Amino acid sequence: MITGATIVGVGGLLSLRWADFDSVHALSKSYKNEHHTIEHDQKKFPTYTRNEVSRHNSVDTGVWITFKGNVYDITKFISHHPGGSHTIMMGAGGDVEPFWQTYTVHHANEVQNLLREYQIGVLDPTDHMKELEAKEISKTIGEDDPYSGDPTRSPLLTVLSKKPFNAETPSKLLPPTYLTPTEVFFVRNHLPVPEVDPQDYRLSVCLGTDGDPDNLQVLAEFTLDDLKTKFEPHSVDSVIQCSGNRRSDLKRIKEIKGLDWKVGAIGNARWTGVRLIDLLKSLGIDSEKYQEQIIKHIQMEGLDCDMSGQSYGASISSDLVFDQKKNVILAYQMNGEPLTRDHGYPVRLVAPGVTGARNVKWLSKVILSHEESNSHWQRKDYKSFSPNVDMFNLNFDESASVQDTPVQSAICDPADGERISLKNTDEKSGLSLPVRGYAFSGGGKMIIRVDVSVDGGKSWITAKLEDVPKDERGLPDYTNRNQTYSWTRWSIDVPISDELVKNKTGQMEILCRAFDSAYNSQPERPETIWNVRGVMNNSWHKIKVELTIQ
């Protein structure tokens, strides 16, 4: 079963995407063994250093890329790129191999032939060798390292920390697809990735209502096969967002200990698995029983643990689990494929609308309890505070753990700080800049409006919302206003001011903010919600771009 109204009308998109993915998967497996036939040709072409190449990263400077040690000027090709000019610009000035390792459709012969036309040089052999060595080193990391068993990841991810592995999706990769491709979905690990043999995997369901973590009554154990075959599979399209998403904007105000997430610690995926309520009902635990037994919280433990054997743990409110519409799921699939190791293979919890930290990966235990998880991630982290609270006067016990997340939005494309060159082809209709982003609200709230401003919030233009269900008259259908767990992507053409057109160059600040179906909106300034843990930054998202008009 597919849940949520937001999938209406996107069926076509998905099928397209999966067609692509099949070829991506097939190609990525064989990629390593392939012999690429583009040869260096040091006689004909001049040599460029990496530094020189990297300066050619815009239409103004020319767009150069490298692949297998050759240098190409693809400026003229930008507008012809089948994947859109925005995506191709992500590789500008750099090496495209990492992109092509995920988007392996590029390994087709036609692409290679096409590329040949644009060669203008070869990469300086010293730089090329350095880059190859760095790649080899990362492959053969020491065996004593608890992280040595971690999986290899897509080089497209922006890595924030290697051990534990934490990486976000480059913002420009978010708007193009309703479901974020698994390979580029942000990864937030707290510990090394456990290696799980699917044959040995067991999920325990326990009653722990006396509060003593050592005194658990095991109610049942399930194998992976049990979960897949004994229960009806359910799917839900849901965002998972890290509590620290957009922390970087808080860090600019005052230092915070924590990963420097920009806007890419969020993704939307189709999760498939067993509804936790179905599993509990099979054990005779229904709504009445859970109220009798005062099951207020559902605690979870993961198979990821530190050297002392302490597992990652978290909990959610039991009322979410016992509400069928919330679709809390023990997911064994992500986007139609088995979970990848980084995303919790073989089974993770997906609690739609709830912050990432409670969506426990590599799930080993579900504990029915009258209190929250005792893990420090539940009790001493992922909580917010007043801006006036610092590390020396914070009181974790008084603060509410982050669960449902507030209304959020961000500009994804262009990226903050980007230099953009625009052509003034039609002076009559005015010049504009296409802007794209996402919006989302926790707890099932639907996004009803996204506003964009180029004058610091004095005036607003309303963006076009994608992924919004429509009624028979083509109007927005708000029926699922309380049960929407996927995001709403949006787009808008922002007009360029006459002054900027006249000056032919200048800076432009663009900001966005969203409203959800409870008419909650985002706070204006990150200063006012700065908090010592750097979580829940949902202030208006602002970017600055440098424009050149040709």
From the CB of 83, what's the least distance to a copy of itself, in Å?
20
Cα gap 367→499, rounded to integer Å: 62
8 Å CB contact between 328 and 276: yes
Residue type, 30: S
From the CB of 286, what's the least distance to a copy of itself, in Å?
13
From the CB of 355, what's the least distance to a copy of itself, in Å?
9
One of 25, 76, 202, 325 touching a copy of itself (CB under 8 A) = 325
Provide CB contacts within 8 A for 142, sequence distance 6+: 148
Residue 332 is a catalytic residue: no
Largest CA distance in the chain: 82
Per CB under 8 A, 319 contacts a copy of itself:
yes
Q: How many residues bind a copy of itself (CB under 8 A)?
A: 57
Of 335 and 531, which has the nearer Cβ to a copy of itself? Answer: 531
Catalytic residue among 382, 436, 489, 533: 382
For 112, the token pair is 């290679």
Per CB under 8 A, 454 contacts a copy of itself:
no
Residue 106 is a catalytic residue: yes
Checking DSSP bridges between strand 311-317 and strand 329-334, what pairing results, if any?
Answer: unpaired
Cα gap 2→83, rounded to integer Å: 28
For 30-74, where are the E strands, in sequence order? 47-48, 57-58, 62-67, 70-73
What's the distance, Cα to Cα, between the start and end of the chain in Å?
51
Site string for a copy of itself, 496-525 (x = CB under 8 A): -----------------x-x-xxxxxxxxx
Residue 81 is a catalytic residue: yes
For 220, the token pair is 């049942």
8 Å CB contact between 250 and 534: yes
Other beta carbons within 10 angstroms of residue 135's beta carbon come to: 12
One of 266, 412, 536, 547 touching a copy of itself (CB under 8 A) = 536
Stretch of 91-99, 317-325, 332-340, 356-364 lying at the interface with a copy of itself (CB under 8 A): 317-325
Residue 188 is a catalytic residue: yes
Residue type, 139: K
Residue 234 is a catalytic residue: no
Of 157 and 407, which has the nearer Cβ to a copy of itself? Answer: 407
Cα gap 190→165, rounded to integer Å: 8
Per CB under 8 A, 402 contacts a copy of itself:
yes
Q: State the sign of the Cα–Cα–Cα–Cα dihedral 9, 4, 488, 264.
A: negative
One of 144, 288, 292, 398 touching a copy of itself (CB under 8 A) = 398
The residues in 185-244 that bind a copy of itself, with binding defined as CB under 8 A, are none
Per CB under 8 A, 384 contacts a copy of itself:
yes
| H helical segments located in 296-442 | 318-321, 376-379
For 516, the token pair is 């959800």
One of 343, 449, 533, 541 touching a copy of itself (CB under 8 A) = 449
From the CB of 481, what's the least distance to a copy of itself, in Å?
7
Catalytic positions, please? 81, 106, 188, 242, 382
Site of interaction with a copy of itself (CB under 8 A): 296-297, 317, 319-320, 323, 325, 384, 386-388, 397-407, 442-443, 445-446, 448-449, 451, 457, 459-462, 473, 475-476, 478-479, 481-483, 513, 515, 517-525, 528-529, 536, 538
